[in-house]
């Protein structure tokens, strides 16, 4: 009934054990750090290493691996066979990378005893991954059959590397003709622009359509508490203004990429209750000559929140969605409380929305239009 325009949002932690996502995320973070050891510092999109650098780094690390083994592993990693391993070679060969990690025996800094740098997935964890992929595959296949798009919600950073990896696999499979699967990027994270650029570039290289939902983020307190307790750098931007700057930088990257590719290769939902961010997106579409009728950029707000943003956008011809969470009250309330935390800066402006409602009520009373329907004389995208 949505005529190709509908969305459904899901959470991967509902499709498998969250502990598994945590373990897989840790594994992915370690393998990415290992790539950076070989490739050195700089823009991750430009990082790469040659066989000589690969061997040199292994020697520095004290890894007892022969030059013949080094040559064989480098040949496996270099899937493009151009003599260099970049991030996409590395990430596209996750299983081989994990096998390589098992060969990387280094002395323990405290005991001096040789040990593996990292362990791969156990048979049980590998089975869990396959089961999660099967469940997600079932959902997306049914959504594709009904011509509905699937947004996979972002979650805590300690789950997110696994979630993003799984979502990219679904994009590779299903986003051939249109963006069916959308990943979510939380712009309150310091890494959000880098992650967005990496995934955008991967979609360009592998020629699948890219779908994204941009949000501010909803797990700030948990993230900061965990960073402090575990002892790693706080992943959250310093303040609300820094998050807004990051959101706008992500939007600019999206606008730029849209104009670099054939029309329709990128689709993005601007999920924001912030008037300035929505205004920035609308003005950015004008600056980059992205038409409303192209239906490449859409907007979303929660049902019951910021109607003074949603309705004018719809009446102006933009694609607008009202996000409707549903389920048992005890399960939905935590979600809504996170949205309140995420938008606490906006909630301070609730007085503006109240005054607008009061102004409209008085207008209708004076005009004798208590049952006035604004949709009768407008067009909603």
pLDDT in tens, 292-312: 999 999 999 988 888 889 999
Tens-place pLDDT, residues 279-295: 999 999 999 999 999 99
Tokens 């990387």 -> residue: 104
Boundary-marking domain end, from 116, 133, 164: 116
Q: What is the CATH number of the domain that holds 362?
A: 3.20.20.220
pLDDT of residue 113: 52
> Among residues 79, 85, 109, 103, which one has the least CA distance to residue 37?
85
pLDDT exceeds cutoff 60 at 377: no
pLDDT of residue 78: 86
Higher pLDDT, 272 or 357: 272
What whole-number percentage of the chain has pLDDT above 90?
44
Do residues 234 and 301 both lie within one domain? yes
Average pLDDT along the chain: 84
Q: Environment class of residue 133 by beta-carbon count within 10 Å: exposed (0-12), middle (13-18) or buried (19+)?
A: middle
Residue 262 CA to its chain's centroid (Å) = 22
Q: Which residues fall within 8 angstroms of residue 64, CB to CB, at 6 or more apart?
A: 105
And the tokens for 132?
């999660």
Higher pLDDT, 279 or 345: 279
Residue 296: inside a domain, yes or no? yes
Tokens 């670099």 -> residue: 260
pLDDT of residue 152: 96
Centre a 10 Å sphere on the Cβ of residue 249 and count the other Cβ atoms it contains: 14
Q: Environment class of residue 348 by beta-carbon count within 10 Å: exposed (0-12), middle (13-18) or buried (19+)?
A: exposed
Centre a 10 Å sphere on the Cβ of residue 47 and count the other Cβ atoms it contains: 18
Do residues 99 and 182 both lie within one domain? no
| pLDDT confidence band for 365 (50 / 70 / 90) | confident
Do residues 247 and 341 both lie within one domain? yes
And the tokens for 258?
């849209």
Boundary-marking domain end, from 116, 143, 161: 116
Do residues 106 and 185 both lie within one domain? no
Which secondary structure element, helix H or strand E, spans residue 211, and what is its range?
A: strand 210-215
- CA 120/CA 182 separation, integer angstroms: 28
Residue 9: inside a domain, yes or no? no
Q: What is the CATH number of the domain that holds 34?
A: 1.10.238.10
Residue 109: inside a domain, yes or no? yes
| pLDDT confidence band for 367 (50 / 70 / 90) | confident
User: How open is the CA angle 48-54-58, to the nearest 5 degrees?
Assistant: 140
Do residues 111 and 259 both lie within one domain? no
pLDDT of residue 381: 41
Which of 55-59, 250-254, 259-263 has the least mean pLDDT?
A: 55-59
Boundary-marking domain end, from 71, 101, 116: 116
pLDDT of residue 379: 45
Higher pLDDT, 11 or 326: 11
Do residues 179 and 88 both lie within one domain? no
pLDDT of residue 380: 42
pLDDT of residue 111: 55
- CA 58/CA 35 separation, integer angstroms: 12
Residue 258: inside a domain, yes or no? yes
pLDDT of residue 120: 59
Do residues 200 and 97 both lie within one domain? no
Q: Which residues fall within 8 angstroms of residue 155, CB to CB, at 6 or more apart?
A: 11, 12, 13, 21, 163, 219
pLDDT of residue 176: 94
Name beta bridge partners: 106: 115
pLDDT of residue 347: 54
pLDDT of residue 173: 93
Residue 127: inside a domain, yes or no? no
pLDDT of residue 344: 57
Do residues 226 and 331 both lie within one domain? yes
**Helix 51-61 with 67-77: angle, nearest 10 deg:** 130
Domain count, the chain: 2
Higher pLDDT, 229 or 211: 211
Q: Which residues fall within 8 angstroms of residue 304, CB to CB, at 6 or more apart?
A: none
Higher pLDDT, 380 or 59: 59
- CA 73/CA 37 separation, integer angstroms: 16
Tell me the DSSP string of 138-156: HHHHHHHHHT-EEEEPP--
Domain that holds residue 327: 175-367
pLDDT exceeds cutoff 70 at 47: yes
User: 208 near 200, Cβ under 8 Å?
Assistant: no
Q: Environment class of residue 138 by beta-carbon count within 10 Å: exposed (0-12), middle (13-18) or buried (19+)?
A: exposed
Residue 265: inside a domain, yes or no? yes
Phi, psi of 216 (to 5 degrees): -80, -45
Centre a 10 Å sphere on the Cβ of residue 252 and count the other Cβ atoms it contains: 15
**Helix 94-103 with 18-39: angle, nearest 10 deg:** 70
Do residues 246 and 108 both lie within one domain? no
Do residues 101 and 187 both lie within one domain? no
Higher pLDDT, 76 or 99: 76
Residue 94: inside a domain, yes or no? yes
Tens-place pLDDT, residues 88-142: 888 876 666 656 665 555 555 555 554 555 555 677 877 888 888 899 999 999 9
Residue 254: inside a domain, yes or no? yes
Do residues 236 and 339 both lie within one domain? yes
User: 277 near 247, Cβ under 8 Å?
Assistant: yes
Do residues 200 and 336 both lie within one domain? yes
User: 215 near 243, Cβ under 8 Å?
Assistant: no
pLDDT of residue 234: 92
């Amino acid at each position: 009934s949505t005529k190709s325009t509908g969305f459904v949002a899901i959470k991967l932690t509902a499709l498998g054990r969250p502990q598994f996502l945590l373990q897989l995320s840790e594994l992915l973070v370690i393998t990415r750090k290992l790539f950076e050891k070989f490739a050195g510092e700089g823009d991750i999109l430009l990082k790469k290493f040659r066989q000589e650098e690969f061997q040199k780094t292994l020697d520095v690390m004290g890894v007892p691996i022969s030059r013949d083994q080094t040559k064989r592993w480098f040949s496996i990693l270099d899937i493009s066979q151009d003599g260099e391993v970049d991030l996409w070679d590395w990430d596209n060969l996750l299983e081989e990378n994990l096998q390589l990690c098992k060969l990387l025996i280094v002395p323990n800094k405290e005991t001096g005893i040789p040990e593996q740098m990292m362990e791969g997935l156990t048979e049980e964890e590998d089975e869990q991954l396959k089961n999660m992929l099967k469940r997600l595959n079932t959902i997306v296949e049914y959504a594709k059959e009904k011509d509905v798009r699937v947004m996979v919600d972002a979650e805590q950073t300690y789950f997110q590397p696994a979630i993003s990896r799984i979502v990219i696999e679904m994009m590779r499979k299903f986003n051939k003709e249109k963006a069916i699967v959308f990943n979510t990027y939380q712009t309150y994270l310091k890494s959000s622009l880098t992650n967005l650029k990496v995934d955008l570039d991967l979609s360009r290289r592998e020629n699948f359509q890219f779908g994204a939902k941009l949000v501010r983020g909803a797990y700030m307190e948990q993230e900061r508490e965990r960073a402090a307790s575990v002892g790693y750098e706080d992943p959250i931007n310093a303040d609300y203004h820094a998050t807004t700057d990051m959101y706008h930088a992500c939007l600019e990257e999206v606008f730029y990429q849209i104009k670099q590719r054939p029309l329709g290769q990128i689709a993005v939902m601007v999920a924001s209750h912030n008037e300035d961010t929505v205004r920035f997106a609308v003005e950015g579409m004008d600056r980059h000559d992205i038409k409303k009728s192209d239906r490449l950029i859409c907007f979303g707000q929660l049902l019951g929140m910021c109607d003074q943003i949603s309705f004018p956008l719809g009446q102006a011809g933009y694609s607008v969605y009202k996000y409707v969470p549903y389920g048992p009250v005890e399960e939905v309330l935590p979600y809504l409380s996170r949205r309140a935390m995420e938008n606490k800066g906006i909630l301070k402006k609730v007085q503006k929305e109240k005054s607008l409602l009061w102004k409209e009520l008085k207008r209708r009373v004076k005009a004798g239009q208590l049952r006035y329907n604004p949709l009768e004389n407008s067009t909603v995208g």
